[in-house]
Amino acid sequence: MSLTGAMTIDVEDYFQVQAFADVIDRESWERWPRRVEANTEWMLEALAARGVHATFFTLGWVAERHRGLVRRIVAAGHELASHGYGHQLVDRIGPEAFRADLARARAALEDAGGVAVIGYRAPTFSIGPHVPWAWEILEETGHRYTSSLFPVKHDLYGTPDAARVPFRPAGSSLWEIPLTTVHGFGRNWPCAGGGYFRLLPYAAYRGAVRHLHRREGRPQIFYTHPWELDPGQPHIPHARLSARFRHRVNLGRMKTRFAALLEDFAWDRMDRVYADLLDPSRPC
């Protein structure tokens, strides 16, 4: 059994990741050489070569500085979605700052892309049952879905006891579509990309997805970042050794793995893979 999965790209630059937040201040972002446009262009070309459309969860900060890139994403037939404005953790900034961040990001994205933005992914998966107000604000601000909850245990993120399948928080019209996991040996295991995809053998991911299709009959979500295909990016001085390792492990192999991924599975945009859920006529 083979299903069409959701291919998603979190468009942010290497100096904006949470692992380096303790050594790189937001105020210094303008001083770092930006590589996000060239890396995203490579991904656009790889997707086009295989006829794949994806969802690009894009930072508003990036959209303001790379308007042409946002226009090219839309023109190529991809879904433009929000990754917030300044890559701030939702569960730390509070409701009012979150509302402002959403509004600023959506304005930047829609102005650059010329399309409505209905999807959202929280930086570092910082939404979950512990911040129910975040789902309420997303619904109030016109978003129709979020893919922000990762039901795994991790030192930087994760809600291991959360639902593994799409759900409507508190009966709202908003859908939370969790990142993909497989369940075994009494716990959830990540099967959605990111650092685990770079660290583990590619065959492990391929086998896990096939298991998901066969046993659970539901599609997978894959996520990655443009910086994950860029071994030439600058090293970050003073960062913790663990952060440097997780950030850079197997960057040089990612272009080959990404190409294999596009060949081995069928992929499409989030809004089309989950079109039945997002149909506005569907009852709450």
Q: What is the CATH number of the domain that holds 102?
A: 3.20.20.370
> Rounded to whole angstroms, how far apart are CA atoms 209 and 211?
5
Structural domain includes residue 124: yes
pLDDT tens string 244-265: 999 999 999 999 999 999 999 9
What separation, in Å, do the N-terminal and C-terminal C-alpha atoms of the chain show? 30
Query: H/E element holding 223?
Result: strand 221-224
Structural domain includes residue 281: no
Residue span of the structural domain in which 221 resides: 3-275
Q: What is the pTM of this model?
A: 0.96
**Domain count of the chain?**
1
- What's the whole-number mean pLDDT along residues 48-72? 98
> Rounded to whole angstroms, how far apart are CA atoms 63 and 109?
6
Considering only the C-alpha atoms of the chain, give the largest distance between any 2 of them, rounded to a whole number of Å.
Answer: 52
Q: Do 274 and 175 form a contact (C-beta atoms < 8 A)?
A: yes
Q: Do 18 and 156 form a contact (C-beta atoms < 8 A)?
A: yes
Structural domain includes residue 219: yes
Lowest mean pLDDT among 4-18, 72-86, 148-162: 148-162
pLDDT tens string 103-122: 999 999 999 999 999 999 99
Structural domain includes residue 280: no
Structural domain includes residue 58: yes
Structural domain includes residue 282: no
Structural domain includes residue 90: yes
Structural domain includes residue 17: yes
